[in-house]
A and B are shown apart, each in its own frame.
Chain A
Amino acid sequence: MEPGVTVEDLPQTQAIAYHDKQRIGKVALVLGAGNVASIGPLDVLYKLFVENQVALFKANPVNAYLGPLLDEAFRVLINHGFLRIVYGGAAEGSYLCNHPGVDEIHITGSDKTFDAIVFGTGSEGAKRKAERAPLLTKRVTGELGNVSPVIVIPGSWKAGDLAYQAEHIDTMLTNNAGFNCNATRVIIQYAGWQQRSQLLQEMRRILAQIPPRRAYYPGAFERHQIFIEEHPEAEHIGLAKEQQLPWTFIAGVDPGNIDDVCFTTEAFCSLFAETALQAKSVPEYIDSAVAFANQHIWGTLNATIIVHPASLKDPAIAAAVERAIENLKYGTVGINIWAGAGFTFGTTTWGAFPGHEINNIQSGMGVVHNTLMFSRAQKSVLWGPFRSVLTPAWFVTRGKIACKLFPKLVAFEAAPSPLKVPGIMAAASGV
């Protein structure tokens, strides 16, 4: 929670939209994201049930094909007049944002779109942004992307640990072909760790087994090219066919070059990078990795820490990890679990770290999901096991299990029953 919230007050900070008897209705414009199918409906549900606003959903042109299905699934809301779905691109978006009948706006997308909405475009927009003089004074919330870091804490890892965590990190890139705002873009390592290059080798080995995927999101090839031009040494892993991009890895980026495109810019394609920091000790490294992520890596959406349980037995390292959890300015922090997984849990918040200035919005403002309806949450912290007994079904090499398991989990949430548990457990075990 944010500073100032006490244990006694906490319940009063929940579901505040349900306690304000004077509350007047509002129309929220929800500008949908084009990459992950659940984002649009989840943002609509948040506006309706947590913020108590009716919703005008503009489907993103990239996945507008979902619009008619959402229309069917959310028909009851449409029949009541609580939801409408419209279509279009930037022109329609701009028209709607400036419409006097739209009271608030929520966007999952890019900070560039946020700036265009709030300040306008072109040189006039840039001037307004510099002067902090918004063109649009409605409340605009949004989740606007991230250059997501993973901080690897050195330890004495076995071969199995290296393979497991290499697959974990690779999955953070390969999921959805790299078109996720929470996809890992920068792996931070300790320059003095003897197993640093072993971990990288394992990552390369596993990536080489994963067939390249179709780069379906618009602009991917151009974005990829920008990074390759700045980093001709980038490694291309896998043979990309037409419409595909290879997995692309830029190892050993100089952390002294804080303007490096790998730190400042979200690649939003099949590419990630690694950098290594010098430090006198591991605790000092952890502190500097946190400072580096906070200060030099763009965005505040999600960050992941990977640490072996044996390392946490060292009190100085354990204390440094506690400091990291506290000091990382990210809306979600994952320890031994991809922080991006926090997108799916629902009771967790999803959004930027609070407090960005309107003219330096970074990963955005406000949260979604948050089904316990906290109004003053600061960040969500996830904990996972360093090694699971069963390799999680969402790891990239477990696609066969995922294809069986997740439809069962969907059916379970549609109608939970203890009778479904054995089937789910069997699917998870690959039976």
Chain B
Amino acid sequence: MTITTHQGAPQFPTVLGSIAPSAREEMDAAIEVLQAHKDEWVAFSIHDRIDLIDRLIRDFAAIVSRWVKASIEAKGIAEDSLYVGEEWAAGAWPVLKNLRQLRQSLVDIEGNGHPKIPGRVTTRRGGQVVAQVFPDTIYDRIFFERIRA
């Protein structure tokens, strides 16, 4: 049952997921592993991070059809529904798009110390600095007609 709210975002009701909640011992063990590796991550070289991202792109692409299928099934969207495109567009595409951009940023950091801003950097009246960040690639220009940010 939802607790009624008249301010802000919802107070969502508690629901049970399709996967049983983790036991405390499992959560403790997970945190222990992460604590043991957190400094290793900070020391992980940019070169190795780029390799990691390549692997993540490959592995996410390998499951992406199942990712979309799981989402539409859970949301009650039929496989031939016209809403399936939404799951590809918002549920899947941004993950690969971000991974590819992060990869490029890492390449730039390795080369110049910081990610390359793809567009112009200007100053508004009043002094506020504005960086144009989209389109980021030549392909963005082709696929996203007259959209910029």
Q: Which residue in chain A gives the minimum CB-CB distance to B58?
A: A414
Min distance, Cβ A22 to any Cβ of chain B, angstroms = 10
Contact B37 A38 (CB under 8 A): no
Which residues 68-102 of A sit at the B interface, judged by CB distance below 8 A? 68-69, 72-77, 80-84, 86-92, 95-96, 99, 101-102
**B47: Cβ under 8 A from any A Cβ:** no
Q: Which residue in chain B gives the minimum CB-CB distance to A62?
A: B15
Which residues 248-301 of A sit at the B interface, judged by CB distance below 8 A? 261, 264-266, 268, 298-299
Q: Which residue in chain A gives the minimum CB-CB distance to B115?
A: A372
CB-contact partner of B118 in A181, A347, A403, A413, under 8 A: A347
**Chain A residues in 8 Å Cβ range of B113:** 11, 15, 18-19
Contact A73 B129 (CB under 8 A): no
Given A14-B115, A54-B37, A112-B11, are A347 and B31 neighbors across the interface (CB < 8 Å)?
A: no
Q: How far is the CA of A299 from the CA of B10 in the complex (A)?
A: 12
Which residues 366-397 of A sit at the B interface, judged by CB distance below 8 A? 369, 371-374, 378, 380-385, 388-390, 393-394
Q: Which residue in chain A gives the minimum CB-CB distance to B98?
A: A346
Interface range on chain A (Cβ under 8 Å from partner): 35 or more
**A240: Cβ under 8 A from any B Cβ:** no
Q: Which residue in chain A gives the minimum CB-CB distance to B11?
A: A112
Contact B105 A89 (CB under 8 A): no
**Chain B residues in 8 Å Cβ range of A99:** 27-28, 31
Given A27-B38, A176-B90, are A84 and B98 neighbors across the interface (CB < 8 Å)?
A: no
Contact A81 B18 (CB under 8 A): no
Given A6-B129, A372-B105, are A403 and B142 neighbors across the interface (CB < 8 Å)?
A: no
**Chain A residues in 8 Å Cβ range of B82:** 399-400, 402-403
Contact B95 A41 (CB under 8 A): yes
Q: How far is the CA of A360 from the CA of B60 in the complex (A)?
A: 37
CB-contact partner of A95 in B16, B27, B71, B126, under 8 A: B27
Contact A36 B90 (CB under 8 A): yes
B interface, CB within 8 angstroms of A? 1-2, 4-22, 24, 26-28, 30-42, 44, 46, 49, 52-53, 55-64, 66-68, 70-71, 74-77, 81-102, 104-106, 109, 113-115, 117-118, 121, 123-124, 126-131, 133-134, 136, 139, 142-143, 145-149
A-B CB contact pairs (8 Å), 21 listed: A1-B129, A7-B121, A15-B115, A24-B38, A25-B41, A38-B90, A42-B98, A54-B41, A72-B59, A75-B59, A80-B41, A86-B30, A92-B21, A95-B27, A96-B31, A218-B13, A223-B10, A344-B90, A345-B97, A345-B134, A413-B57
